[in-house]
Amino acid sequence: MKPYIQKQMQAFQEQNRNRGRLLISCPDQPGIVATVSRFLFEYNANIIESSQYSTNPEGGIFFMRVEFECPGLSQKAKEIEQAFEEIAEQFSMKWKLSYVHDLKRTAIFVSKELHCLLELLWEWQSGGLLTDIALIVSNHEDARETAESFGIPFCHVPANKENRAEAEAQQLRLLEEYKIDVIILARYMQILTPNFVAAHPNRIINIHHSFLPAFIGARPYERAHERGVKLIGATSHYVTNDLDEGPIIEQGVERVRHHHNVEALKKIGRSIERSVLARAVKWHLEDRVIVDRNKTIVF
């Protein structure tokens, strides 16, 4: 890792050593916001940002994200977590408390197309993505020079349908060795097995074109051009065992016209893919996403 990026990350961690984020989902009922706010107040925490949403105030599901500043948070963390269990039980909550200074460790998987990888690295070096990019994994050598220029370990793991089990076993060992929290598929053109996906639920973020469910399979831009589409875009989602049908985090579209040829469509598509994936990753890193079955709530 380049020294100036490391200093940037260390400065962020120091500035946010007392900041926490609380994510909650539970059956909606009166008193949730008041109880959570009172609980944080008892620990001298100051709420910086609070967002909530209910699918239906009568019998619906309530979602909440609270970001707060709490003096001495690291010393109080275990006590806060243990004490909050009582509230979680009272309201039947699913909840997660994360600490902003504890940066998530990220692995980026990529094949031959590097535009999404480059976007993530540009955002990372400029401070737009606060994460520890610990590893870049590829089934080709194309990204090695880029990875090494940023001082990021690069691992070439040849992968195809013939050796998928062996390749994934090696990848899983790498993810454990590097203590990876988030996996980003930045145009990684391999299908992941159920075993791999199950090992990282809601922690694998993918990007693909938004023609789906139309133009499934090979050469989507060529077939879209033949059909005369007027909108193209990209979708970023969590990976599940249902191919390209996981919970959607972010999407983007752009209007195209008859004079755009296939190469022009691909160029526009790559631009949308870059920005959509970067936003999805940023929101995940900032704990803004709550998964509810096969959809997401993004605060």
Active site residues: 244
Helix (H, G, I), strand (E, B) or coil at 145: helix
Q: Is 230 exposed, middle or buried (0-12, 13-18, 19+ CB in 10 A)?
A: exposed
Residue with structure tokens 């053109």?
A: 189
Task: With beta carbons less than 8 A apart as the criterion, state whether 90 and 24 touch.
Answer: no
Question: If DSSP codes are grouped into helix, strand and coil, which group holds residue 164?
Answer: helix
Mark 102-113 as b/e (b = at least 16 C-beta within 10 Å).
ebbbbbbbbbeb
Contact between 106 and 112 under an 8 Å Cβ cutoff? The reply is no
Distance in angstroms (rounded) separating the CA atoms of residues 139 and 145: 14
Q: Cα(126)–Cα(143) distance, rounded to whole angstroms?
A: 20
Task: Report how far apart, in Å, the C-alpha atoms of 4 and of each of 102, 192, 230, 285 are.
Answer: 19, 35, 44, 21
Read off the amino acid at residue 35.
T
Size of the chain, expressed as the number of residues it contains = 299
* DSSP string for residues in 198-221: HTSTT-EEEEEETTTTTT-SS-HH
- At 59 the three-state DSSP class reads coil
- State both tokens at 134: 């610990």
